[in-house]
Chain A
Amino acid sequence: MANRVSPAGRLGANLAGIAIFLVCAFPVYWMVNNSFLPRNKIRNPDPTWVPFGGTLANYRRVLTGGRIWDALSMSLMVTLATVLISLVFAFLAAVAVTRFRFRGRISFILALLVIQMIPVEGLFISQYKMLEGFGLLNTVVGLTIVYVANVLPFTIWTLRGFVAGVPYELEEAAMIDGCSRMQAFFRVTFPLLAPGLVATGVFGFLQAWNEFTLAVVVMTRESKQTLPVWLSVFTDSQKGVDWGAVLAASTIIAVPVIVFFLIVQGRMVSGLTSGAVKG
């Protein structure tokens, strides 16, 4: 289609494209731009478009003032625990559904799909009650339990594709050459899965790292907030909102996420349509 567009049509599409680019990118740019501006420039009725002569004062206030470091370590602990546990569990399950045919295989896959679609809000009340009963509210373990369940279905689904992508014939060949089935799997298939495991792990990382709803529900105590909850409360508690600090904090949280996302995004589109990722 692309090569038969009339010059006028192409010009129109290009202009629209520039508009789309601006609408998409401007909020992100505006966040970074204003995070470098001193308070009087942010509050100036006329906007400052480029942060010439900007300041790092906002970043200094964020990094030294609030409890960002507590929130950061909380987020790191929960996210890493979630990713590790769900990768191991998902890997085993993915091997089961791709390398074996057994009764209940399709049911299991179907169940994953349904679970995937359960809205968090539909269960968070009873998850809260459960963790309260276990004495696990405001703990890393408690939040990790609900996060693993949240990330697991999509992790299994994605890994399944990767495991299936390694031809079984390779393992067979290794077995003919004298490997046991286990050896064949771990010496031949497993190394080929490494990129898939990394990509899937990064997806899980992003999901857990950005998660807000369950974190608000489970981590009710201020000292236990994860980064997203901390940012939300930080925005809230500013007297006459200190936008410079808020936007600096947002930038700090967003930049690593964006970088990670760009690394793995190529697989995102296909993963999403095949039901792999929770919105």
Chain B
Amino acid sequence: MTTTQEVLPAETSTPVSSGPERRRRSVNALPYGLLVPATAALALALGYPLVRQVVLSFQDFGLAQQFGKPPEWVGLQNYRELVTDSYLWKVVLRSVLFCLANAALTACLGLAVALLMMRMSKVVRIAVQAGLLLAWAMPVVASMTVWTFLFDTQYGIVNWLLTHLGLDFDGHAWLLHPMSFFGVATVIVVWMSVPFVAFTMYAALTQVPEELVEAAEIDGATGGQRFRHVVLPTIRPVLYVVLLLQIIWDLRVFTQIFNLQKAGGVTEQTNLLGTFIYRQGVGGGHFGLASAAAMFMLALAVVMTAPYVRLMLKQEKEA
């Protein structure tokens, strides 16, 4: 656990209550008062919509209601419609697969970069860190325009490069086919996400006790064995947190998919949950149906978040 604590200073720095605080424990209303503004803001902007969304998801709320007709209570019909709609299942499956593939790829590449960073000379390492920071700092929308340009059918450098390598990529339209669309999306998402993983894992790797690795080496462990039996167990808690966060984050890739769709993807074949909900609701006016789909997404997120929250709670209690 020492590694986790080194990398998670915000966690460990929670104060151990000292004398005067303990005395104040039961009598004071002040801390509750201090929490009021934050709680009120969250209740207004998240709590209230959540309640409304639950209600909406049981109503027939379409375009007619948008123009003043009172919404009709339809019970579970929206959910029934969603569950029996094979298109939604396609979208869900697509979202989950995309999320898991991207998270796994990001974690592996991030770890690989971190391991390489341990081995390279200082100058190269500084260059790598500078590059990672640049990619990390880029605003999402700016990254989207550049990557769209890089993969552009006519003027994109990717096509130019592949053509010059002797492949037939002249005028290749990357976004036209769903598989290749998601390939491009994966490249972009992974490019944006690897820096965080690489930095975090590098920080964890620098905490692996040198003596342990040396001792294993003296005992005749090969490089692979040293990694698997000494290094990996030490960094496993951090790797676990990073992977969980990545899964949660990759479930919501609205900006990337939305912008790639505009740049030339076939919307119906490339929708993930976020863009699907958006197009049903804001785009199509089917608010009841969109709300039901959004409830589905919330449930999915909660399921995926649960282990992370449990882990954080454990650390909170230990601190």
Chain A residues within CB distance 8 Å of chain B: 1-2, 4-5, 9-10, 12-14, 16-18, 20-25, 27-28, 30-31, 34, 42-43, 45-47, 85-86, 88-90, 92-93, 95-102, 105-106, 108-110, 113-115, 117-130, 145-146, 148-150, 152-153, 156-158, 160-161, 164-165, 168-169, 172, 209-210, 212-213, 216-217, 220, 228, 231-232, 235-236, 241, 243, 246-247, 249-251, 253-254, 257-258, 261-262, 265, 268-276, 279
CB distance A98 to B128 under 8 Å? no
Tell me which residues from 142 to 198 in chain B have a Cβ below 8 Å from any Cβ of chain A. 142-150, 152, 154-155, 157, 160, 191, 193, 195-196
Instruction: State how many angstroms separate the Cβ of B186 from the closest Cβ of chain A.
Output: 14
Chain B 80-107: CB-based contact to A (< 8 A → 1; otherwise 0) = 0000000000000000000000000000
CB distance B200 to A273 under 8 Å? yes
CB distance A18 to B124 under 8 Å? yes
CB distance A28 to B294 under 8 Å? no
Tell me which residues from 263 to 304 in chain B have a Cβ below 8 Å from any Cβ of chain A. 263, 273-274, 277-278, 281-282, 287, 290-291, 294-295, 297-298, 301-302
User: Which residues from chain A contact B298 at a C-beta distance below 8 Å?
Assistant: 118-119, 122-123
Given A117-B305, A121-B277, A126-B50, CB of A1 within 8 Å of CB of B135: no
User: Which residues from chain B contact A246 at a C-beta distance below 8 Å?
Assistant: 145, 149
Q: With the chains together, A213 CA to B273 CA distance in Å? A: 13
CB-nearest residue of chain A to B66 = A132
Given A117-B301, A130-B49, A272-B200, CB of A24 within 8 Å of CB of B116: no
User: Which residues from chain A contact B20 at a C-beta distance below 8 Å?
Assistant: 168, 172
User: Which residues from chain B contact A270 at a C-beta distance below 8 Å?
Assistant: 7-10
CB distance A119 to B251 under 8 Å? yes
Chain B 222-234: CB-based contact to A (< 8 A → 1; otherwise 0) = 0000000001000
B74 is an interface residue with CB less than 8 A from chain A: no
CB distance A269 to B121 under 8 Å? no
The number of residues on chain B lying at the interface, defined by a beta carbon within 8 Å of a beta carbon of chain A, is 122
Q: With the chains together, A110 CA to B30 CA distance in Å? A: 20
Cβ-neighbour of A273 out of B8, B294, B317 (below 8 A): B8
CB distance A231 to B46 under 8 Å? no
Chain B 113-146: CB-based contact to A (< 8 A → 1; otherwise 0) = 1001111110011011011111111111111111
Given A31-B146, A106-B316, A117-B248, CB of A262 within 8 Å of CB of B133: yes
Q: With the chains together, A120 CA to B277 CA distance in Å? A: 11
CB-nearest residue of chain A to B170 = A45
User: Which residues from chain A contact B49 at a C-beta distance below 8 Å?
Assistant: 123, 126-127, 129-130
Instruction: State how many angstroms separate the Cβ of B101 from the closest Cβ of chain A.
Output: 16
CB distance A110 to B205 under 8 Å? no
User: Which residues from chain A contact B308 at a C-beta distance below 8 Å?
Assistant: 117, 275
Cβ-neighbour of B7 out of A4, A21, A30, A273 (below 8 A): A273
Summed over the interface, the residue pairs from A and B with CB atoms below 8 Å come to a total of: 359
Cβ-neighbour of A28 out of B35, B135, B200 (below 8 A): B135
Instruction: State how many angstroms separate the Cβ of A245 from the closest Cβ of chain B.
Output: 11
Q: With the chains together, A88 CA to B7 CA distance in Å? A: 28
CB-nearest residue of chain A to B242 = A273
User: Which residues from chain A contact B30 at a C-beta distance below 8 Å?
Assistant: 96, 100
User: Which residues from chain A contact B252 at a C-beta distance below 8 Å?
Assistant: 119-121, 213, 279
CB distance A47 to B13 under 8 Å? no
A-B contact pairs, 26 of them (CB 8 A): A1-B205, A10-B121, A17-B125, A20-B131, A21-B127, A21-B130, A27-B150, A28-B134, A47-B157, A95-B34, A96-B32, A100-B21, A102-B31, A106-B316, A106-B317, A117-B248, A124-B282, A145-B41, A212-B140, A235-B259, A243-B152, A254-B138, A254-B139, A273-B7, A274-B11, A279-B249
User: Which residues from chain A contact B133 at a C-beta distance below 8 Å?
Assistant: 261-262, 265
Given A25-B135, A102-B31, A168-B21, CB of A152 within 8 Å of CB of B41: yes
Given A161-B10, A235-B263, CB of A258 within 8 Å of CB of B137: yes
Which are the 8 A-B pairs with shortest beta-carbon distances? A279-B249, A149-B45, A24-B131, A161-B10, A126-B53, A121-B274, A261-B137, A13-B119
Cβ-neighbour of B134 out of A43, A129, A212, A258 (below 8 A): A258
Given A106-B316, A128-B281, A273-B7, CB of A118 within 8 Å of CB of B301: yes
CB distance B31 to A96 under 8 Å? yes
Given A17-B125, A231-B141, A250-B145, CB of A115 within 8 Å of CB of B46: yes
CB distance A125 to B290 under 8 Å? yes
CB distance B196 to A272 under 8 Å? yes
CB-nearest residue of chain A to B17 = A101
Cβ-neighbour of B313 out of A24, A99, A110 (below 8 A): A110
User: Which residues from chain A contact B242 at a C-beta distance below 8 Å?
Assistant: 273
CB distance A21 to B309 under 8 Å? no
B241 is an interface residue with CB less than 8 A from chain A: yes
